Chains A and B, each alone.
Chain A
């Protein structure tokens, strides 16, 4: 097939198909929300604060009661990031993972109430919370990657 337009001229109904092609070519699809630099940066900051907290707990073995503010602040930050993420359409993956992260702070607090965050339990909890952060950051990386490899409609950052 070398001349699609001339074929259209010979077959009935082809103008409609051509118009559909034109319409389709003018569109782009959106299955997942675009990259949001503020969400990405906020997650990176919260991750750094969490790692710093866990390092300090390992060193000082402080009680839950003396560190309760950390959990309140971390959960508040996750809620704020979730509000930001929810402003974008098709962002359910990120929102689900933020809910999971919020739950991880509840579980970490529960673990802390039972004793200082040191030793094996601290090591495992840290690895698991790391995994939740990596899940969120991988998503942001892939949203951003679309722009890097030439996606039509994703912003460059």
Chain B
């Protein structure tokens, strides 16, 4: 049995799509919600400082906490991108491996 490159390529794309969609479907709402929440915190810190509800020191600590939360969110979004790429490549390789095994006639991979 021979390998059909066009069919193989279509099968690999078909395997990759749901993987990327699954990650993006969860990452997009997360990124959007975090950006909104962090923006609201920034506004609350400044408003609290101006109204006297927060001292300058407290506002400074909360700004540092906000910077940390923002860094963590960005690290997560960056890492989710890597996970999505990894899972997509592995899904495509799995299809390739199955096709090669079928073409050769034995499970060599």
Contacts and interface: CB of A to CB of B under 8 A. Distances in A.
Nearest to A5: B2
Contact size class for A?
35 or more
A128 B57 CA distance: 17
Interface in B2-47: 2-6, 15, 18-19, 22-23, 26-27, 30, 34, 37-38, 40-41, 44-45
Contacts of B23: 142, 145
Interface residues of B, number: 59
A16 interface: no
Contacts of B106: none
Given A22-B100, A121-B54, A146-B83, A4 B4 contact: yes
B2 A29 contact: no
A25 B93 contact: yes
Q: Is the interface of A mostly helix, strand, loop or mixed?
A: helix
A85 interface: no
A5 B3 contact: yes
Contacts of B58: 111, 114, 121
Interface of A: 1-6, 21-22, 24-32, 93-94, 96-97, 100-101, 103-104, 107-108, 110-111, 114, 119-121, 123-125, 127-129, 131-132, 134-136, 138-139, 141-143, 145-146, 148-154
